[in-house]
């Protein structure tokens, strides 16, 4: 008799452990995400979603079964041990492990596939017991909400949620997580922190002739766009595109090839303002000015996109020698009045 009870006790503990893992596997994914994956054709999600749609009824069923299993384990232990003190010493840690530790443990990880295997049987039980479960759901629903909406208080909290999902469930790759982090923090980044400072900008003099030698020097600079100045680098009058210069069949003045539209942006502006400016103007280089309207550097669309994707990119003509990595943020300070486009 004791052998049978011992075997039954082992089975009940194993089933209880499996039941807790099943509950974790059914609840670790929100019902909205489950529905989305089911629509995309995830076979496991297709099987699990109808069961999760029962909401509170599903959890009442599972926790009721788990309660019966735990009670049965306690009664069997009482029958096998007999001593009240030993029963307490064994049952208390057992209940803590089964109901406080296992539901929140990192291992084993919840499995949607495991939930999908059991879901058809659970759905059948829920259909058969629907009248009873419906009444219980209404009664229990007065005090608890089974599927609460997650209220996120800050960007930092959202980032922690993303990092947790990436670490625990491998649903987000490290590259995707990095892009998400950069995108969330993008609005806090300023132009002055990511521009190319004035002392490393490759300017082109408006008086220059675009000879093969000059074009070669422009190509070797590693840039594809160049601000054009007249008299000094505080007077920007246009932008020269390398691709326009290399198409020349013979030497021409810079002023004949450059594009005379110039857009300015203040160094204190956030990068998202610059990004909207690039999209609106379809211009890929902005001249950066300070509060006194002094030119302090330039900002390209690549500079902005890099802050989202997290690594340097090449534009259509660049070899990308990133001079910003070795530049010191220094700028000449000559007051200059200008009548041009201001990005704000």
Residues 6+ apart with CB under 8 A from 324: 194, 195, 196, 197, 200, 303
Mean pLDDT computed over 100-117: 80
Give tens-digit pLDDT for 53-74.
998 899 999 989 998 998 898 8
Bridge partners (DSSP) listed for residue 255? none
Backbone angles phi, psi at 334, to 5 degrees: -115, 130
- pLDDT digits 0-9 by tens, 189-239: 999 999 999 999 999 999 999 999 999 999 888 888 999 999 999 999 999
Of all residues in the chain, the percent with pLDDT exceeding 70 is 84
Instruction: List, in sequence order, every residue forming a beta bridge with 299; answer none if it has no partner.
Output: 286
- Distance from C-alpha of 170 to C-alpha of 78, rounded to nearest angstrom: 43
- pLDDT of 325 reads 43
Question: pLDDT tens, 254-313?
Answer: 999 999 999 999 999 999 999 999 999 999 999 999 999 999 999 999 999 999 888 777
Predicted pLDDT of residue 120: 94
Ordered by where they begin, the domains of the chain are 2-149 (no CATH), 157-188 (no CATH), 191-343 (3.10.580.10)
**Secondary structure letter of residue 156 according to DSSP:** H
Is pTM beyond 0.75? Reply is no
């Amino acid at each position: 008799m004791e052998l049978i009870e011992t075997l039954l006790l082992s089975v009940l503990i194993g089933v209880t452990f499996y039941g807790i893992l099943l509950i974790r596997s059914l609840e670790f994914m929100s019902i909205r995400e489950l529905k989305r994956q089911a629509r995309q054709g995830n076979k496991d999600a297709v099987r699990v979603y109808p069961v999760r749609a029962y909401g509170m009824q599903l959890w009442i069923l599972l926790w009721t079964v788990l309660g019966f299993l735990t009670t049965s384990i306690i009664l069997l232990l009482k029958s096998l041990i007999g001593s009240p003190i030993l029963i307490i010493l064994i049952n208390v840690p057992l209940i803590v492990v089964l109901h406080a530790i296992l539901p929140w443990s990192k291992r084993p990880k919840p499995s949607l596939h495991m939930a999908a295997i059991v879901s058809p049987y659970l759905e059948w039980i829920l259909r058969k017991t629907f009248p009873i479960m419906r009444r219980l759901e209404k009664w229990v629903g007065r005090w608890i909400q089974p599927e609460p909406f997650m209220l996120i208080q800050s960007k930092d909290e959202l980032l922690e949620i993303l990092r947790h999902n990436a670490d625990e469930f491998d649903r987000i790759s490290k590259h995707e997580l990095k892009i998400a982090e950069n995108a969330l923090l993008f609005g806090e980044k300023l132009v002055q922190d990511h521009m190319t400072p004035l002392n490393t900008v490759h300017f082109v003099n408006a008086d220059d002739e675009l000879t093969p030698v000059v074009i070669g020097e422009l190509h070797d600079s590693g840039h594809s766009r160049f601000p054009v100045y007249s008299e000094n680098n505080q007077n920007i009058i246009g932008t020269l595109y390398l691709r326009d210069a290399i198409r020349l069949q013979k030497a021409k003045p810079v002023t004949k090839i450059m594009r005379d539209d110039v857009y300015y942006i203040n160094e204190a502006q956030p990068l998202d303002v610059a990004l909207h400016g690039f999209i609106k103007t379809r211009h890929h280089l902005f001249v950066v000015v300070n509060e006194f309207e002094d030119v302090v550097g330039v900002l390209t669309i690549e500079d902005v996109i890099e802050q989202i994707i997290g690594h340097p990119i090449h534009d259509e003509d660049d070899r990308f020698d990133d001079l910003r990595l070795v530049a010191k943020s220094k700028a000449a300070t000559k007051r200059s009045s200008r009548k041009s486009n201001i990005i704000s």
